[in-house]
Amino acid sequence: MPRTGIKAVLKLLTLTALFAGWSQSGQAASRIKDIVSIENVRDNQLIGYGLVVGLKGTGDSLRNAPFTQQSLAAMLERLGVNIRNVNLNTKNVAAVSVTATLPAFARKGSRFDIQVSALGDADSLQGGTLLVTPMLGLDGDIYGVAQGQVAVGGFSARGQAESIERGVSSSGRVANGAIVEREVAFDFAGQPSINLALKNPDFTTAQRIASAINGAKGAGTANVLDPTTVKLNLPQGYSGNIISMMTEVEQLPIAVDQAAKVIINESSGVIVMGADVKVSRVAIAQGNLTIRISEAPQVSQPNAFSSTGTTQVVPRTNVQVDNSDSKRLAVLQSGVSLQDLVNGLNALGVGPRDMISILQALKSAGALQADLQVM
């Protein structure tokens, strides 16, 4: 075969491989573990009240925050320090709320992060240390104990005539600042069946999940209860070993289906359109009458050595009218895709604000075949 023929074959094979890769990436499926959550496997919210000490004069004013003074006095008395009839006037202490999320299956002795937020009039928690704080659940039981150095992302600096502030300095985090003292009991391995909850409920996606599991583990293993729930029964051969089964099931690929939606945030001008958004045949025109008036006054000086002339301000006014003559009526064919819709709107030269109005008008006209949600 001539060299030119060999080069042509190699080029053809290369292009074929590239298109095959693009096709596979375009049809890439999601794993089951990424689109569902397991019922009863959940985090738990914790809250606590504590004191942050070691602040450099940026803490609470004890006169304006009596709860801080009471907490400080109670803490010192528990440590054997008697401060009765003592006038406390420190600015190095701040009362804070401590919040955290206890991970699922957290065991005694494991650590988790906490968030610290000022309750009083403290200016900054920078450089402070959180004292031992019990972390309570909704049932009132203590599930963890928090303590540690507070890391603040923002900062503030003030002088007599100027101040500067970046971020929020009245809240911060303590990485691994809490230790689990009480576990949330849940016998996951002993469950005869579990429910998979879809993060985005959909009939089609739920049925695809059940079909994929039944195809891999046998018929009757998974049943669709509703658009949100797929019940997973423990098949033969996995008795008492649901962990192994879930490890295999959560790796199954699923082609996720989604409803056609257009999400609009009018305050920020953000528009998000799903891939399945379609538009019926419609004509769109956009244009506004804009009048711009600019003033550029000039100063008229008299000639040199003039005894009668005076300096005067001569007005100069420039009026421009833009009636958007360059904008034309655009026709979108029936069943156009998302890319065609975006290209058509961009061809009109419209910005996000005008595009929002056009999408709302399309929906009112019945031409937008999607659910329009305004945030």
How confident is the model at residue 161, as a pLDDT?
66
Query: Rg of the chain's alpha carbons, rounded to an integer?
Result: 34
Could you tell me which of 121, 77, 63 has the C-alpha nearest to residue 96? 121
Lowest model confidence (mean pLDDT) among 69-83, 95-109, 274-288: 274-288
Give tens-digit pLDDT for 141-150. 999 999 999 9
Give tens-digit pLDDT for 313-333. 776 656 554 555 555 555 555
| Whether pLDDT at 126 is above 50 | yes
Calculate mean pLDDT across residues 350-373. Answer: 79
* pTM for this predicted structure: 0.66
- The pLDDT mean for the chain works out to 80
| Whether pLDDT at 187 is above 90 | no
Calculate mean pLDDT across residues 19-37. Answer: 65
How confident is the model at residue 6, as a pLDDT?
45
Q: Classify strands 282-284 and 371-374 as parallel, antiparallel or unpaired.
A: unpaired
- Please check whether residue 59 is in contact with residue 92, taking contact to mean a CB–CB distance below 8 angstroms: yes
| Whether pLDDT at 24 is above 50 | no
In terms of Cβ atoms closer than 10 Å to its own Cβ (0-12, 13-18, 19+), residue 173 is: middle
Domains of the chain listed by start with CATH number: 44-157+164-180 (no CATH), 187-254 (3.30.70), 262-301+312-374 (no CATH)
How confident is the model at residue 371, as a pLDDT?
84
Per-residue pLDDT band at 227 (split at 50, 70, 90) = very high
| Whether pLDDT at 239 is above 80 | no
| Whether pLDDT at 19 is above 70 | no
| Whether pLDDT at 111 is above 80 | yes
| Whether pLDDT at 18 is above 50 | no
Per-residue pLDDT band at 119 (split at 50, 70, 90) = very high
pLDDT > 90 fraction of the chain, expressed in percent and rounded: 33
How confident is the model at residue 373, as a pLDDT?
84
Find the distance separating the first CA and the last CA of the chain, reported in whole Å. 64
| Whether pLDDT at 39 is above 90 | no
How confident is the model at residue 298, as a pLDDT?
74
